Amino acid sequence: MSELQAKASIRSLAPYRQGQSDIEGVKQPIKLSSNESSYGPSLAAVEAYHSVASTLNRYPDGAQTALREAIAGVHHLDSSRIVCGNGSDELIQLLVRTYVGDGDEAVLSENGFVMCNTHLQAAGATLHIAPEHDYRVNVDEMLSRVTDKTRFCTIANPNNPTGTYLSDSEVRRLHAGLPEHCIFLIDGAYAEYVMKDDFSDGLAMVDEFENVVVSRTFSKIYGLPGLRIGWMLCSEAVTAMVQRVRTPFNTNSAALAAATAAIEDQAYMKHVRDANAESLQSLSKELGDLGIEVIPSVANFYLLRFAPESGKSGSGAAECLLRHNVIPRPAGSSDEYLRITVGTPEENAAVIDALRAYMSD
């Protein structure tokens, strides 16, 4: 046995499993496993990406000024409290590294972004996982797990893989039950997709409360996951601390340029958002007509349930989709569920065809 031992908190971690991205023998499968945007990025973002080619011998702007100012302009925020990262994943890790240590406790919901759990466990925290009811984050379940030792609490809003959301008042009720020494992270990876009156992206709460942080990403609606770029809004105090551990060049020049152009193209973002909403609506209807339960989603993916008594299953549906060149993603530990990303109308039609075949089998 080797003398070399990783920390116990790291040895116990399960490695991250990326969504399947290819099918043997299929040149161009329809990849609907990672909640990517089937519409791709704004052309302005692609152009900006190419434009940095002549300056690759220079370090990127470590202060991330242009991107922070562009984000601040669109969302009416204070740019000095925006921190950009190598995907929102890196930002969550930075936040955990800054505020959570051995013996601290964290309260999370049953679903959400799995890397949050990983970063917290790696930091030595004890995790308290609140069950969800009706596929939704349950504020009472979360609050019943809060103790004096709770240093970190997070929800994804909208949630993944359920696609459901918590209203502004529910999010505020959760925050009100947390101690002031607890960071409350609202992971808004899919926030742009939501068009509900009682939803709020939480950015206003960051101005009201020192302990609230909102993380966002360019990986979803902006179609730039390959560049790894995200941002978070923090209070002044949290920004100052996180900036102490952020590596100076954590965001590269191509990502900074493309993301700046992407956020400035709000017309394209709205086009993708509206197309997604329209597709979600017709998919729900068509899948419902096939006898498949669709959990109501406000994001760019949907969770399907195949009741065991129907003789159908998530894995059975997945096999059939794969035979039709569509890659879905298993969801949760139960075989009742399957998560599928909203695609282009043609891709969605392929999903419906495959599942029609499966259900009539």
Ligand X SMILES: Cc1ncc(COP(=O)(O)O)c(C=O)c1O
> Which ranges of the chain does DSSP label H, i.e. alpha helix?
8-11, 43-51, 65-75, 87-99, 114-122, 139-143, 168-176, 203-208, 236-245, 253-264, 266-289, 314-323, 345-359
Which listed residue (29, 202, 225, 343) binds ligand X by CB under 6 A?
225
Length of the chain: 361
Question: What is the signed CA dihedral for 297, 86, 236, 143, rounded to 10 degrees?
Answer: 40
Contact partners, residue 323, CB within 8 Å, separation at least 6: 354
CB 268 within 8 A of CB 290: no
Residue in this structure with the two tokens 């599942």, named with its chain if needed: 355
Q: Which stretch binds ligand X (CB under 6 A): 64-72, 85-93, 118-126, 193-201?
A: 85-93
Nearer to ligand X, 106 or 355 (CB): 106
Smallest separation (angstroms) from ligand X to the CB of 119: 11
- Contact pattern from residue 96 through residue 125 relative to ligand X, giving x for each residue in contact according to CB under 6 A and a dash for the rest: -----------------x------------
Binding status of residue 299 toward ligand X by CB under 6 A: no
Size of the site for ligand X (CB under 6 A): 13
Nearer to ligand X, 132 or 187 (CB): 187
Binding status of residue 202 toward ligand X by CB under 6 A: no
Binding status of residue 192 toward ligand X by CB under 6 A: no
Nearer to ligand X, 135 or 358 (CB): 135
As a whole number of angstroms, the distance between CA 182 and CA 164 comes to 24
Nearer to ligand X, 37 or 313 (CB): 37
| Joined tokens for residue 24 | 């043997």
Residue in this structure with the two tokens 């692609």, named with its chain if needed: 46
| Joined tokens for residue 134 | 């009706």
Binding status of residue 219 toward ligand X by CB under 6 A: yes
| Joined tokens for residue 191 | 């926030």
Binding status of residue 135 toward ligand X by CB under 6 A: no
AA identity, residue 323: R
Give the three-class secondary structure for 136: strand
Give the three-class secondary structure for 30: strand
Smallest separation (angstroms) from ligand X to the CB of 332: 14
Which listed residue (33, 37, 64, 217) binds ligand X by CB under 6 A?
217
Smallest separation (angstroms) from ligand X to the CB of 186: 11
Binding status of residue 163 toward ligand X by CB under 6 A: no
AA identity, residue 223: G
Smallest separation (angstroms) from ligand X to the CB of 103: 26
Nearer to ligand X, 14 or 53 (CB): 14
**Nearest-CB residue to ligand X?**
87
Nearer to ligand X, 48 or 108 (CB): 108
Helix, strand, coil % (nearest 5) of the chain? 40, 15, 40
Binding to ligand X, residues 32-61 (CB under 6 A): 35
Binding status of residue 189 toward ligand X by CB under 6 A: yes
Contact positions vs ligand X (CB under 6 A): 35, 87-89, 113, 156, 160, 187, 189, 217, 219, 225, 230
